[in-house]
Structure 1
């Protein structure tokens, strides 16, 4: 597992992220999400929804990982979208 995925796991345990399309979208609207990880194997509808919302609220989206990699990193099953809400972890993940 690479460093970003390991740090996502730490962030999940520290409750510094949210997962799920609807929750991430609502928290982007509240300006709580700073970075979004979108699974590269997510449906086109999910990708469009997240990209449009992120573009509107000026949130960076990374599509480097599959849903299996993201799910494994945060310890949950079948996750397509993960949003980082913790500023400290955002700095760590961007290094």
Structure 2
């Protein structure tokens, strides 16, 4: 499976598992980030918000937080899963 198969909302675990190559590792990463509770199945409030976002929305959110620019200032590249400034 490729990460491009998981571009929709509510696919946070599946998408991360495809990126890192292992579902258990993805679950541990999300636990460490505070997006999953200790049971590895239940999202925290922050995790539920991330899970409700599409891959595009998460990429733009990451870029926005990193640069202090509004989400609307970015465009998404599905091939790289990155958001870059609009020109």
> Which TM-score tier does this pair reach, normalised by the shorter chain?
under 0.3
- TM-score for both structures, normalised by structure 2: 0.28
- TM-score for both structures, normalised by structure 1: 0.26
Instruction: Tell me which protein shows more strand as a share of its residues.
Output: 1
**Which of the pair has more CA radius of gyration?**
2
